Amino acid sequence: MKQLILGGVRSGKSRLAEERAGASARQVVYVATALNGGDAEMETRILQHRARRPSEWITIEEPYALGNVLLANDSRDRCLLVECLTLWLTNLLCVRPDRLDDERRSLCDAVAQLRGALILVSNETGLGVVPLGELSRRFLDASGELHQTLAQLCDRVTLTVAGLPLELKGPPQ
């Protein structure tokens, strides 16, 4: 099953994804997309996520080539958990904007081909005010378009609010 879990910051989406991955009865491969970049607050978040992960989970850190990593680690007996797509988009927009379109296409192609279980985690950013800055608007457009495409490719789409999952597509919890 392919799942997309969306939610705001601190909405409970990561914990839900981790619970579902753990309940999958498959080997979990956690694909982390965050770049630290010397930010103390981000480093704290990364450390918190690492501490929550079971030691038997495989962790791969990949900030750019997500589609390639998913295909390289795909197996019917694995559950791939990607945390998080909006950080991945930010990495591409801010560090490698020349690769954005190719990497987005690669990710969507990979999702369509995967044989094993997949859980994608992303921030729902389209519920607020349209920002004034060009880069911020480009980010919102890119994340909204990506979410729409992935929602079509996934079997289940869940919006998480205040720690509560709201099933938008697929079987109920």
Report how far residue 127's alpha carbon sits from residue 94's, in angstroms, rounded to the nearest whole number.
22
Looking at the predicted structure, is the pLDDT value of residue 52 above 90? no
Angle 147-148-154 from CA coordinates, rounded to 5°: 80
Average pLDDT, the chain: 92
Q: Is position 49 annotated as part of the catalytic site?
A: yes
Among the listed residues 1, 26, 46, 49, the single catalytic one is: 49
Give the strand pairing for 2-7 and 156-161: parallel
Distance CA 52, CA 15 (A): 9
For residue 62, the model assigns a pLDDT of 95
Tell the burial category of 77 from Cβ atoms under 10 Å away from its Cβ (0-12, 13-18, 19+): exposed
User: Quick one: pLDDT at residue 24?
Assistant: 96
pLDDT in tens, 63-117: 999 999 999 999 999 999 999 999 999 999 999 999 999 999 999 999 999 999 9
In this prediction, residue 167 carries a pLDDT of: 96
Looking at residue 132, its pLDDT comes to 81
- Is residue 135 pLDDT above 70, yes or no? yes
Of residues 45 and 20, more confidently modeled:
20
Is residue 28's pLDDT more than 80? yes
Residue 64 vs residue 44, higher pLDDT: 64
Structural domains of the chain, ranges and CATH numbers in brackets: 2-169 (3.40.50.300)
pLDDT recorded at residue 173: 62
Total-model pTM = 0.92
Kindly state the average pLDDT of the residues 21-39. Answer: 90
Which position has the higher pLDDT, 109 or 38? 109
Cα separation, 60 vs 118, whole angstroms: 15
The predicted structure's pLDDT at residue 127: 82
Question: Which has the closest alpha carbon to 31: 145, 125, 119, 124?
Answer: 119
Q: Residue 132 class from Cβ within 10 Å (0-12 exposed, 13-18 middle, 19+ buried)?
A: exposed
Largest separation between any pair of C-alpha atoms in the chain: 45
